[in-house]
Structure 1
Amino acid sequence: MQLFDSHSHIDVDAFDADRDAVMARARDAGIIGQLVPAIAAAGWPHLREVCVAFPHELYPAYGMHPMFLDEHRPEHLEQLRHWLSDERCVAVGEIGLDYFIETLDRGTQQFYFDAQLRLAREFDLPVIVHARRAVDATIASLKKVGGLRGIIHSFGGSTEQARQLWQMGFLLGIGGPVTYPRAQRLRELVATMPLEQLVLETDSPDQPDAQWRGQRNEPARLTAILATVAELRDESSEVIAAATTANAMGLLKLSRS
Structure 2
Amino acid sequence: MKSTLRLIDTHLHLASEQFNEDRSAVILRAIDAGVAAMIEIGYDLASSHAAVALANAHPAVFAVVGIQPNHLHDLPGDWIDQIRRLAAHPKVVAIGEIGLDYYWMKSPPSEQDAAFRAQLALAGELGLPVVIHSRDAMAETIAVLRDAARGPGIMHSFSGDWAAAQECLELGFYLSLSGPLTFPKSVALHEVARLAPADRLLIETDSPYLSPHPHRGQRNEPSRLVYIGQKLAELRGQTLDALAPQLWQNTLHAFPRLSTALG
Per the normalisation by structure 2, the TM-score is 0.92
Per the alignment, residue 93 of structure 1 pairs with 96
1:175 aligned onto 2:203: no
Match of 2:214 among 207, 211, 214: 211
**Are the aligned partners of 1:95 and 1:113 in contact in 2 as well (CA < 8 Å)?**
yes
1:107 Cα deviation (Å)? 1.2
Per the alignment, residue 13 of structure 1 pairs with 17
Aligned length: 256
Per the alignment, residue 121 of structure 1 pairs with 124
- Alpha-carbon separation, structure 1, partners of 2:248 and 2:89: 27
**Are the aligned partners of 1:64 and 1:72 in contact in 2 as well (CA < 8 Å)?**
no
Per the alignment, residue 51 of structure 1 pairs with 55
User: What amino acid is aligned across from residue 224 of structure 1 in structure 2?
Assistant: Y
- Alpha-carbon separation, structure 2, partners of 1:74 and 1:189: 40
- Alpha-carbon separation, structure 2, partners of 1:24 and 1:86: 24
Against the structure 1 CA distance between its residues 109 and 221, is the aligned structure 2 distance closer, same or farther, given a 3 Å change threshold?
Answer: same
Match of 1:227 among 225, 230, 245: 230
Secondary structure of 2:14's match? coil
- Alpha-carbon separation, structure 2, partners of 1:102 and 1:88: 31
**Percent identity over the alignment?**
35
1:239 Cα deviation (Å)? 2.2
- Alpha-carbon separation, structure 1, partners of 2:249 and 2:212: 23
Per the alignment, residue 186 of structure 1 pairs with 189
- Alpha-carbon separation, structure 2, partners of 1:22 and 1:84: 26
- Alpha-carbon separation, structure 1, partners of 2:62 and 2:74: 23
1:74 Cα deviation (Å)? 4.2
- Alpha-carbon separation, structure 2, partners of 1:177 and 1:71: 32
User: What amino acid is aligned across from residue 11 of structure 2 in structure 1?
Assistant: H
Secondary structure of 1:90's match? strand
**Are the aligned partners of 1:10 and 1:36 in contact in 2 as well (CA < 8 Å)?**
yes
- Alpha-carbon separation, structure 1, partners of 2:94 and 2:105: 28
1:179 Cα deviation (Å)? 0.6
Against the structure 1 CA distance between its residues 86 and 190, is the aligned structure 2 distance closer, same or farther, given a 3 Å change threshold?
Answer: closer
The answer for unaligned runs of 5 or more in structure 2 is: none
Deviates more, 1:221-230 or 1:37-46: 37-46
**Are the aligned partners of 1:26 and 1:219 in contact in 2 as well (CA < 8 Å)?**
yes
**Are the aligned partners of 1:142 and 1:148 in contact in 2 as well (CA < 8 Å)?**
no
User: What amino acid is aligned across from residue 28 of structure 2 in structure 1?
Assistant: A
Against the structure 1 CA distance between its residues 135 and 73, is the aligned structure 2 distance closer, same or farther, given a 3 Å change threshold?
Answer: farther
The answer for unaligned runs of 5 or more in structure 1 is: none
- Alpha-carbon separation, structure 1, partners of 2:106 and 2:204: 27
**Are the aligned partners of 2:9 and 2:204 in contact in 1 as well (CA < 8 Å)?**
yes
1:75 Cα deviation (Å)? 2.4
- Alpha-carbon separation, structure 1, partners of 2:61 and 2:174: 20
Per the alignment, residue 166 of structure 1 pairs with 169
Match of 2:46 among 28, 42, 52: 42
**Are the aligned partners of 1:40 and 1:71 in contact in 2 as well (CA < 8 Å)?**
no
Secondary structure of 1:211's match? coil
1:195 Cα deviation (Å)? 1.0
Deviates more, 1:178-187 or 1:153-162: 153-162
User: What amino acid is aligned across from residue 79 of structure 1 in structure 2?
Assistant: Q
1:112 Cα deviation (Å)? 0.7
- Alpha-carbon separation, structure 1, partners of 2:64 and 2:150: 19
Secondary structure of 2:53's match? helix
- Alpha-carbon separation, structure 2, partners of 1:7 and 1:85: 20
1:46 Cα deviation (Å)? 2.2
Question: What are the within-5 Å matches in structure 2 for residues 190-205 of structure 1?
Answer: 190-205=193-208
**Are the aligned partners of 2:179 and 2:211 in contact in 1 as well (CA < 8 Å)?**
yes
Per the alignment, residue 65 of structure 1 pairs with 68
Secondary structure of 1:97's match? strand
**Are the aligned partners of 1:204 and 1:219 in contact in 2 as well (CA < 8 Å)?**
yes
User: What amino acid is aligned across from residue 53 of structure 2 in structure 1?
Assistant: E
**Are the aligned partners of 2:40 and 2:63 in contact in 1 as well (CA < 8 Å)?**
yes
Deviates more, 1:15-24 or 1:41-50: 41-50
